[in-house]
Chains A and B, each alone.
Chain A
Amino acid sequence: MKEYTFFPGCSSEKNASAANMEHSVQAMCKILGIQLNEIDDWNCCSASIGYAGGGQLPRLSMSARNFALAQQQRGMTDLVATCAACWLAMREAAERIEHEPEVRADVNVALKEANLSYEGGIKTRHLVEVLIEDFGWDALRAKVKKPLTGLKVAGYVGCQTNRPFGIAGESFENPLYLDKMIEATGATAVPYPKKVACCGGALMFTEVEKSCALVRDLLQCAVDNGAEVIVTPCPVCQLNVEVYQGKINQLFGTNFNIPVVYYSQLFVLSWGGSWEDAALNQQVVPAEVLRRFA
């Protein structure tokens, strides 16, 4: 059993938009032998849009509090995130706390109000990196009990898992790890030229039509390349690309109805987990095309 400190983030809470990611991640980790120790009493990372209301220091302090709690509760154990925006916000905060003495000093003045302090040093990682680096492709392939043979999948990496930090060892323009994950389940990764294009992110809330136009192109590209399902590591991508299909069909006269799932859901299913273990009962666009493997 490998242990990590865990930051689930707000969208992974019960009854939140990425509850299906969280459920399938826990099932995936159980099969693989990973214990995720959630930081007790964590707060929001400030997300993609927190800069406008929060500015620099309040925004960075939010991640600093989580680091300080992680250190208090779990020492310097690696901190793992599953949400792209959380991981990005934490990586950014960690970098600035470590490299900018002024930021570190100010953050600690703020933290003192919560009787906390943090000087840096905890490594923040994405769960995808843990799978690749600490387990490896052979170990992931070895878990397969029900290969997803014949399933055509478009691997949609999105933005924030890929830029500005990205999964270690991958390129910004053509990261390959998601296609390799798809292939590791026995499925077929179709060519997907839109794999690192933007879904609109948090601007889906405010600039709905502009963002829907981006997602329309993402969906069309998947369909054109013969995908039966889209897979992503990012909860913002998953939400935007799945849940807005009805709206997009209204806006553009299209007829999209393609399931969008997480890599963790594909792994759980191919590793012999149930439909419920994979949280496939929590899809807004039903993933019936996966039923034959359950």
Chain B
Amino acid sequence: MAYDLSFAQDVYKNSEMGHWIKMCKQCGVCAGSCPFGPHWEYSPRQLFQLVRAGKKEEVLKSHSMWMCTSCYNCIVRCPRSLPITHIVHGLARYASVKGYADPNQITNRFATQIFWPNIVGTGRVGEAMLTMRLYFADGLGAGIKRGLEMKDSALGMLMTKRLNPIPLRGKIKGYAGFAAMIAKAQELEAKREAGA
């Protein structure tokens, strides 16, 4: 079987910070430094080697990249100072954009379908709406169940004025300009990600 290098080349060029994958020396310090290490199907080290070996489906369909807590331990410990956290974020984004990432993977769904629309919808995070949308993402029953499980915490947050009882929030004053900026940035980003 011949190696298909087109996937690796595309990742190097079009996945954020992807070109650094070439520099990985396979030591595994990233894997051993990750707080969610045991939960990754493939550790960062393994993901990088799979990219280099052209294993497109194995990499992009893996849930591994969605296990990153953004603790940045791997970055500061990498003996080659590779921006591992950013490479992994880039691969997660790449898998999502290219349509390989499991749309039901909970962090993928939360980040792309709930969190991002939440912040660009008004210009700022609406924490109460964010939590509600996440809890009710699997329907009413599941939402009520999870809401009840967390009711003491939610009540505590409400009582201490750290949760808005009204989940709707207003837009920032310069929202029109903000939205136009995001739209333009997304347009340029789509071109870049398509390898244009």
Give residues in A with beta carbon < 8 Å to B.
10-11, 13-20, 41-44, 46-58, 61-62, 65, 106-107, 109-116, 159-160, 163-164, 172, 197-198, 200-203, 205-207, 210-211, 214, 243-244, 246-247, 281-284
Q: Specify which chain B residues have a CB less than 8 angstroms from the CB of A62 in the assembled complex.
A: 119, 182
Give residues in B with beta carbon < 8 Å to A.
16, 35-36, 39, 67, 69-73, 75-77, 83, 85, 89-90, 92-93, 96-97, 106-108, 110-113, 115-117, 119-120, 123-125, 127, 130-131, 134, 149-150, 152-153, 156-157, 160-165, 172-174, 177-178, 180-186, 188-189, 192-193
B160 x A282 contact (CB < 8 A)? yes
> Whole-angstrom distance from the CB of A227 to the nearest CB of chain B?
21
A17 x B162 contact (CB < 8 A)? yes
B93 x A246 contact (CB < 8 A)? no
Q: Specify which chain B residues have a CB less than 8 angstroms from the CB of A14 in the assembled complex.
A: 161
CB pairs A–B below 8 angstroms (18 shown) = A11-B127, A17-B162, A41-B172, A43-B123, A47-B119, A47-B125, A49-B107, A51-B90, A52-B96, A52-B111, A53-B112, A58-B182, A107-B185, A110-B182, A115-B177, A163-B71, A207-B107, A283-B160
Q: Specify which chain A residues have a CB less than 8 angstroms from the CB of B67 in the assembled complex.
A: 203, 207
A47-B119, A203-B107, A205-B110 known; 15 new pairs, CB 8 Å cut-off, are A42-B172, A43-B178, A44-B124, A47-B115, A50-B116, A52-B89, A52-B111, A53-B111, A62-B119, A110-B185, A159-B69, A163-B76, A198-B69, A201-B71, A206-B106
Q: Which residue from chain B places its CB closest to the CB of A201 in the assembled complex? A: B69
Q: Which residue from chain B places its CB closest to the CB of A15 in the assembled complex? A: B164
Q: Which of A58, A61, A163, A243 contacts B73 (CB 8 A)?
A: A163
- A164-B76, A206-B134, A284-B153 known; A11-B160 Cβ under 8 A: no
Q: Specify which chain A residues have a CB less than 8 angstroms from the CB of B83 in the assembled complex.
A: 164
B156 x A243 contact (CB < 8 A)? yes
Does more than half of chain B's interface fall in helix, strand or loop, or is it mixed? helix
Q: Specify which chain B residues have a CB less than 8 angstroms from the CB of A246 in the assembled complex.
A: 152-153
B184 x A113 contact (CB < 8 A)? yes
A16 to B156 CA separation, bound complex (whole angstroms):
13
A56 to B97 CA separation, bound complex (whole angstroms):
12
Q: Which residue from chain B places its CB closest to the CB of A59 in the assembled complex? A: B185
> Whole-angstrom distance from the CB of B99 to the nearest CB of chain A?
14
Q: Specify which chain A residues have a CB less than 8 angstroms from the CB of B173 in the assembled complex.
A: 41
A54 to B90 CA separation, bound complex (whole angstroms):
11
